[in-house]
Homo-oligomer: A and B are copies of this chain.
Amino acid sequence: MKFFGADYYPEHWDRETWRKHVELMKNYGIEWVRIGEFAWSIVEPTDGVFDFSLLDEAVSLLKDNGMKVIMGTPTATPPAWLVKKYPEILPVDYSGRVRSFGSRRHYSTNSKVYRDYALRITEMYAKHFGDSVDAWQIDNEFGCHGTTYSFSEADRKAFIEWLKAKYGTIEELNRSWGTVFWSQIYSDWDEIVFPINTPTFENPHQMLDIYRFMSDSSIEFLRLQADVIRKYSSKPITHNFMVDFMDIDYRKMARYVDFVSWDNYIATEVYDPLRQSANHSLMRSLKHAPFLVIEQQPGRVNWRQRNENYSASHLSMWTKQCYLNGAMGVMVFRFDQIRFGAEQFHGGLLDYAGRVTKRLEEFSKCKAELGETVIPKREVAIYFDYEVEWMHRINHVNRDFRYWDSLVEIYRAVKRLGYNVEFVFSDDELNGYSLLIVPYALHIPEEFRMRISKFEGPVVMTCMSGVKDERNWIVERAPQDLIEEFGVEVMDFGAVKNIEILAPGKRLAGKYWVDELRVCDASVIGILNDGTPIITRKMGMGNGASRYYVGTVLDEDGWIEILKHELEPRIVGDDVEVSNLESEKVWTLERKLMGVLNLKATRNVAFVGGRKIDLEPFQLLMLEG
């Protein structure tokens, strides 16, 4: 990996302490440092008065010590004076309440006043630093704390403009939104309001457009900043994406950054290493390219109900997992550990007294151990769409269902069989993959349906797929091409809690949803207790490959059973992650490389092929096939 680094806040320390810190960075191999992204009130202490001296000194010190600097624009934290002067820049939450100053992300991207101030400070940064820094991060964690969504008057006005651009006429909007239902026909654009605190369910077509608009607003805000920076700097631009985050269409946003970065924090109250891996994979898939972990959880965080203090060897394992999933670098958040502020209990690589921790030592060791950036091979593709995630939120048949969580179950199943997963989007080419899974894909654009037909390997499609059009209307019938491709038609459907499926020699568990299938041209390979078909297989499609249809939501074990029809298990073992790698350095046609990472803090055993593998705690083993 190229980037070993850490996030750092010079404004939190005096100059003398900087020098101690930078000395330690150098000693422990920290080469990339991100700074500046919360420094607005330092740089512009009052309206229009700019002072870059602190950042200048910090950049000089870092550069003088041979480090690379990623400069963050500070727009995630508008200063107090700006909020006082223009309270209308504050966002409004879905309950209609203004979100106040006092933490961070307290702005609406659609406030014109805010945009002007944000672009002015961005331009000042860009003009001032130009190419003297090595990369740029725009803002910080767009959408964190639910801030993708704001419902102020500025947002409403912007939404109406967005709708005008999309629909042209109010009549076209009325048709598309089905406003004839419940007498919601608009006679004028300005009648459109956000459905905040409606007595009951909102218009599902309007809701989908709201999700799109809010995502687009963040993307537009990023794009405007990127354009400003590019006027003054040739250095690459990125933004730090988040774990398990679905409010912004990252695929779309990724177009406007030069490389993808993300913040690798444990996503769930109960730590699940393969869920983190699924996020790595999604981030890699956004551009189908190596990515940067720009914030790596160091150990304890401060924002959970219970903030566990993970051992230093955890940080080591996490770093190896980043590597194994195609990261080109890891930067730990944060180098220093501070005594004040809302994150005072967040861990760092130093302790509160500024002493080196085992975490810094372990991280430093990783740098020595890990080689060049590796690239996981294309093996299994899972179809993914941010808009589908939004559709699943709206008026669902089963409100217990969570799209991403159910995809993670599939991800885990594939990985436990020893295969890589890449996520594919509707405009992705499918060459190189050996198996395609199309799960819970409420809407599938025609473009991608055609790719499915042409796909030469086996395809597994599930319930809920192709049920909606791009307006979020239910389709009259499933698209004819899908019916023919899979040999089944979904006649009706409904929610379930749990169902039992009888597959040859095995009982599987289904949940959330059950289809009522008409089998036109396929074998039945799974039935319900009353004999109804629920899983089917059609042979001889796409160059002889099979087409599977699964009319319910399987759990991880059920997925393993279905996938075993096509994927020979490569590994037997628990709590290990396998990654099959290629890279300029390690991959030749004759030479296969498999990385096996022990996810446990204790010794572990796995079998790869017939071979027994002994693993030390958190050990990463590179096997040649």
Contacts and interface: CB of A to CB of B under 8 A. Distances in A.
Interface stretch (A35-43, A159-167, A234-242, A559-567): A35-43
A105 interface: yes
Number of copies: 3
Interface in A483-502: 491-497
Nearest to A206: B102
Given A199-B91, A306-B496, A351-B492, A96 B97 contact: yes
Interface string A94-110: 01111111111110000
Nearest to A106: B199
A612 interface: no
A112 interface: no
Contact of A187 (B80, B145, B181): B80
Interface in A78-135: 78-81, 83-84, 91, 93, 95-106
Nearest to A512: B306
Interface in A167-222: 177-188, 190-206
A442 to B, nearest CB: 12
A338 interface: yes
A109 to B, nearest CB: 13
B145 A300 contact: no
A104 to B, nearest CB: 5
Contacts of A200: 103-105, 144-145, 303, 342
B338 A181 contact: yes
Interface in A458-498: 471, 473-477, 491-497
A495 B307 contact: yes
Contacts of A99: 197-199
A306 B340 contact: no
A339 interface: yes
A410 to B, nearest CB: 22
A146 interface: yes
Given A400-B305, A494-B307, A191 B83 contact: yes
A129 to B, nearest CB: 18
A218 to B, nearest CB: 14
A106 B195 CA distance: 11
A192 B102 CA distance: 9
Interface of A: 9, 11-12, 38-42, 45-46, 74, 77-81, 83-84, 91, 93, 95-106, 144-147, 177-188, 190-206, 299-300, 302-310, 338-345, 351-354, 357, 395-400, 471, 473-477, 491-497, 514, 516
12 contacts: A41-B179, A41-B180, A91-B199, A100-B193, A178-B339, A178-B340, A182-B341, A201-B342, A204-B341, A306-B400, A306-B496, A309-B492
4 smallest beta-carbon distances between A and B, as pairs: A309-B494, A181-B341, A102-B195, A178-B340
